[in-house]
Structure 1
Amino acid sequence: MIIVKIGGSVLSNKRKEFSFRGDVVKRIAYEISRFYPEEKFIVVHGGGSFGHPLARKFRIREGLKGYGSRHGFIVTHLAMLELASKVTKCFLENTLPAFPISSSSIFVTKEGKIVASSLLTVKEALSKDFIPLLFGDVSFDTSKGIEIVSGDEIILHLAKEFRPEKVIFLMDVDGIYDRFPGGKLIERLTSKEIESMSLSGSSGIDVTGGIKKKLEVARELVRYTNEVWFVNGLVKDRLSMAIVGNGIGTVVQS
């Protein structure tokens, strides 16, 4: 089994609200179709310009604070359902039976971390040769009332349960660089190297912001999978090459 994360910056233009790169998602679906059904897949996608602007607007991460936050919680969820529907249709056009599963219905969080889940639907979908399609979403939270459950948090939880062969993150750049922009692409990393970066900050690699979070997730993921790939989802065949275990990108191993 392979878990594929379609980053929000791949399926949409984050600078333009509710933009959707249908041509890109259809091509990603086509690349997956080359390997399905011999290979099982779970697909998780980010919020892109659908979920993130609304989550900020309604301050979802600040928790439950009356009717306004309840309203925003629902509106944000509806936007993610709309995005999931668009992704699903792109997969169907490539004869892939992707089945959207609402993350807020199967995960409960505490401070944004999953503390309870019901994965029977995912397991049943896999056993019947569907491709479960999950997504970053709002969540009911035991500490704050409401929160966001990110695509990366979902992938980590799924990896612990299903122990995939590999996890592939589709990004809008070629992988992890020693600095960005203008740096050198790092082709291979180990979990120990990532740990030393996080502790010392002196590795020559810029481990700030979103990339730092991605590397921390990768370091955790390799406890449950053989390898984690970061590849450019906007470039044709990069996903296919990662699936077979080679190509341009960054691979993290234990």
Structure 2
Amino acid sequence: MSTVSDPLGKILGHRFNRPELVREALCHSSAAQGQSGRPASYERLEFLGDRVLGLVVARLLFDRFAGESEGHLARRHAELVRKETLARVAVNLGLGRHIRLSRGEEEAGGRDNPAILADVCEAVIAAIFLDGGFEAAAAFIGRHWAVLIEEDLTPPKDAKTALQEWAQGRGLDLPLYREVGREGPPHAPLFEVEVSIEGHPPEVANGPSKRTAEQAAAGALLARLEVRYGG
């Protein structure tokens, strides 16, 4: 077996038979473009890693919170696989300094960009999965997500409740939801819902039901507000 580099091998806790996989996982599209042979960026691996992470986290939650309702498990799961959580894990691992970026992306702060860090984290999970199998990927996720699962044992609130409490805590009117679009056949509609809070730009999201679309829109607006104003 070979390692990509000693520091990186220690960070990931996995010795790669195919080190090209983790090199791909750490290659931003800006660095892949313009090189001879056009080496792949992390984008395809990111797609796979997202699915592997989702399954492993679902199993960890299923075992840890035996008897808890599907709704509570779903909200925990959404919190643990969101981009902000992935970026946090990437920062804790120090993945940013190992990413290959173009000069322009580097100067733009790409190594500290939460979206890039989250994508790279998912791609690394996929690289470990492809190289070492499901058990290796599950072990990696277990090491770095177990502590997150234990941080707050209270089930997270659903997005609509959390957004309502955010508004009330600042003396604002309750969030307003309105359907702004609907498409698809009657048996499989796709709803588009807008949510707004006074004094702030609205957010729009889609879902197979009004409730799902409202939750997605509320989550998007709350995430933006928390980034700007803090939780």
Normalised TM-score (structure 2): 0.27
- Which is greater in Rg? 2
- More helix, by proportion: 2
- More strand, by proportion: 1
Q: Which structure would you say has the larger RCO, counting Cα contacts within 8 Å and 6 or more residues apart?
A: 1
